[in-house]
Amino acid sequence: MISKEHLLQQFEQRIFDESYTRIFKCLSLLDEKHLWKKINPNVPAVGNLVLHLSGNARQWILSGLGGQTDNRQRDLEFETHKNIKKTDLIFFTRKFTC
């Protein structure tokens, strides 16, 4: 049986050794003006996808397995946040373990 500690360790490895690097690279290639642009009403903007990914990780891993408080506001993840810049999202995703 896989322990909770093992799952948390794997989460940290996958997020910080693999996914964060990919997110950082992709956001670095994106123009700021495209961060909150939707290509059609049914497809979330890149900024929304990053917020949603962060929300999932915090809720399922850090709260569900790690015992941290779940204060997710999922609906806000899909609103346009023009005040959130690309650098804010890069540092936001880095704070998963806080």
pLDDT at 40: 93
pLDDT at 70: 81
User: pTM for the whole thing?
Assistant: 0.72
As for how many domains the chain has, the answer is: 1
DSSP class per residue in 49-94: HHHHHHHHIIIIIIITTT-------GGGGGS--TTS-HHHHHHHHH
Per-residue pLDDT of the chain (98 residues; tens, 9 = 90+): 778 788 777 877 777 677 778 888 889 999 999 999 999 999 999 999 988 888 887 787 777 777 778 888 889 889 988 899 988 887 766 554 33
pLDDT at 39: 92
58 vs 19: CA distance, rounded Å: 15
CA 69 to chain CA mean position, Å: 17
Give the range of the structural domain holding residue 60, as residue numbers without chain letter: 4-94
